[in-house]
A and B are shown apart, each in its own frame.
Chain A
Amino acid sequence: MDLTTMQDSILPLLSALPNTLMLTFVSVFIGFCLAIPFALGRLSKNKLIAQACYAYVYFFRSTPLLVQIFLIYYGSGQFVKALEAVGLWHFFREPWFCAILALSLNTAAYVCEIIRGGILSIPKGQWEAGQVLGLSRFDLFVQVIFPQAFRQALPAYGNEVIIMVKASSLASTITILEVTGVAEKLIAETFQPLEIFIVAGSIYLSLNFVLSQLFHLLEKRLNRYLPHGATRTN
């Protein structure tokens, strides 16, 4: 093993970390915002809305993320005229836009299911207590149901964010120089994949260590006063 190569690769790989973070957290944020309406849609009494949301979830959970990235990045190239006509080609020709779009839509599907599970775990009595107090459906959801559903969903959600950190490496396949992209570039220059992937892997490992600790703390803090933590029934 060549320690000098490893040492030399640390700085260039770390300098790609902001790109990895950017890809991950922008997608996690957009995905979360999309997931809430999708989760509500899945739970809607309107069959059409519920099925449309399920179709979305089904598609994005059942096809590989890599395929989704390629479909969006290369696929959009087939529709340049149409996309130009609606003023969107400007976005779709950017690898960053395509990567974030694919990651966001993909994580939204998973988070939708995580949130839906959280909402379903809230006892009926909580809805009824809110209704009886005269809370509007909006207030009931925002003030009573969602905060509890989110606490229930937190362990699964933390998992999903960590998966997203790793999934962001697929953006390297469409020319984005995040950690894995830079690693591949360095390998092409040095022909020493083992050393460089060990360093790159360690960066992901450290990042996810910090994230899992943060989620652990958040869980402990938010669930402080919930009886029996995540397994609460009522």
Chain B
Amino acid sequence: MLWEALTLQLGYNATLVTVGAALLGFAAGVTGTFLFLRKRALVSDAISHATLPGVGLAFLAMVALGGDGRNLAGLLIGSALSAWVGLLAVSFLTRRTRLAEDAAIGAVLSVFFGFGIVLLTVIQSLGAGRQAGLEDFLLGSTAGMLRADALLIAGGGALVLAVVLALRRPLTLVTFDPDYAVARGLPVARLDLLMMGLVMAVTVIGLKVVGLILIVALLIIPPVAARFWSDRSDHVVLLSGAIGAVSAWVGAALSATAPNLPTGPMIVLTAFAIFALSLLAAPGRGVLAAALRQNRFRRRVHMRQGLLALAHGQPIYEGLTLRLLQHAGLVRPDGVPTEAGQARAARALRDEARWAELRAGPGNEAAAALHDGVRDIETVLTQDQIAEIDRRIGGPRGVPG
């Protein structure tokens, strides 16, 4: 069942939903990356909650005009308008008053959402039959989705994606260095506005699939996960898009396999699983890699200090140091150095003396700055430079046995 869902064999409608969701996920991941790098991830939370009054008002307007209140395009236009008002309110509160952005975001999201709930109850009281499941917009629902709706979502996702990819250069510049972007003559304010417009588009398109409470997750989690794998913005953007697409694809497919698996939460939880995996296992920035790195460094420090102690003829009491030396065959179990141990100890002492000479004298500050107590000087200086140092400090001295 799951395999059929993942490979799009569950019928036309499920396929349409899955592909549409994946396109939406890609667009959200790519757009969200710029928002994340600009450190304004939670603005999307205000935007998404601010869509609710628009949905309610659009429904009321369409019913008042004698139409069908459930027309998805009409509802989405309404939600876009009210999200725009919410965005303006956030920027008014941050620019024209002393309130910080987080307070403005929280105020807008709670007030707009509250007002939206009021409108939903008004619609409910107008006649239960016509209420038309507007609550689906809270948590998303792909169950009764029409073909036209799915096409609208897929088309919208593709459009957003095209705009972001076309403008990724200036957007990247603005996110990393707004001052430099101004100096280059880029319209920073307008690009910021465009970025918010794109976020709004993703939100509105995602309302039906993921729902307005969870759509922020599609904008935030993929870029955060992608950031673990690369330091290059191009790669992060594409990777984030891919993570968004995979999450949406897998989530929508999982949700199609059983009745009690709502689409929005499944997509978000898939994305979170990818995030957790990235946090743990990514090379470089991942937790596991960092732990390994730390452990390796620790062993090298112990090894080095143990060898220096041997070189100075001092007894070693520290457990880990002894184990490491013994494991490498450098000391006997009673703590007496083997021949190999004496040789390594002498080399360590020599290395230390060379470092000391290098750091004492002028002229090699760049190389001397690399001293961290475990690095061999051969990896930093050329043979000629080492010979020059040796000439100054004299030949090797013996090591007490």
- A and B: real partners? no
Binding site for A on B (CB under 8 A): none
Binding site for B on A (CB under 8 A): none
